[in-house]
Amino acid sequence: MKAYIMIKIRSGEIKDAVENLRKIKGVVEAHMTFGPYDAVAVVEAADIANIGSITALEIQPIPGVEQTLTCLAVDL
């Protein structure tokens, strides 16, 4: 299962936050973005419970992270 996690980060902490995202097991990509969110992480996990754990226990505690929005990818 794949999810795109959109992340709002405090000003001045984006570079460090993205570097920390890239260290998390299950995060296959992490990039700074422009627009309403400051970064996006592509997460791959076995199921939705694991995606939730990665988001709540690994991504949200990163210093500077203020908000996340999880978008599940669906194959038709």
Domains of the chain (ranges, CATH numbers): 2-72 (3.30.70.920)
The number of residues making up the chain comes to 76
pLDDT recorded at residue 76: 87
Torsions phi, psi for 73 (to 5 deg): -90, 135
pLDDT recorded at residue 13: 97
Smallest CA-to-CA distance from 3 within 34, 37, 49 is with 49
pLDDT recorded at residue 39: 98
pLDDT (tens place) for every residue of the chain, 76 residues total:
999 999 999 999 999 999 999 999 999 999 999 999 999 999 999 999 999 999 999 999 999 999 999 999 998 8
How many degrees, rounded to 5, is the angle at CA 15 between CA 10 and CA 24? 100
> How far from 33 is each of 30, 36, 41, 46, 60, CA to CA, in Å?
10, 9, 10, 26, 17
